[in-house]
Amino acid sequence: MNLEALRAKQLPIKDRYKQNPSDALVELHATGKVLVDDQQCLIDTHAGLSRAGLHIAAGGTGDDACSGEMLLEALVACAGVTFSAVATNMSLPIKSCQIVAKAKMDFRGTLGVDRTAPVGLTELELVFQIESDASQESIDKLIQLTERYCVIYQTLKSGVSNARSSVVLSHS
């Protein structure tokens, strides 16, 4: 989508959100069916079912994506879409861009081996491999804005202010 088409599509949306800020508050959701005996979860995605399982480091087979890898995939997807939109809005000539997300995790925490070991990702790096004739200053600004507007990046960086879980129990 070129700059004019993107702006034409986003302008009425932005105007609506300025007039009615509550319209911008949207609930996102994901659904999965847990396969308890197999330590797997079938995730209902827009592209069909995706299967998550234990990472090899936690006893998995390696045949399934682990949730940490899926989180990194979501980060790369969000950063890629944001990068594209920002580059288009900046009218930057981008020949190609590959994004790699890397994270470190200490599996002692999630396996309960060491209560002092953290549960979750402890380091995160997002690497942009860009081919462009744009100036270094423009590319730096592009990355700065991509980080600023990437939902997944900002969520990981800042955390969630109101995270909770709830239970709906049914008996068979």
pLDDT of residue 8: 92
For residues 87 and 81, what is the distance between their CA atoms, to the nearest angstrom? 10
| Structure-block tokens of residue 15 | 């105007």
Under 8 Å between Cβ of 54 and 66: yes
Homologous superfamily assigned to 3-158? K homology (KH) domain (3.30.300.20)
How many CB atoms within 10 Å of residue 103?
A: 17
pTM of the model: 0.83
pLDDT tens-digit map of 109-152? 989 988 999 998 888 999 999 999 999 999 999 999 999 999 99
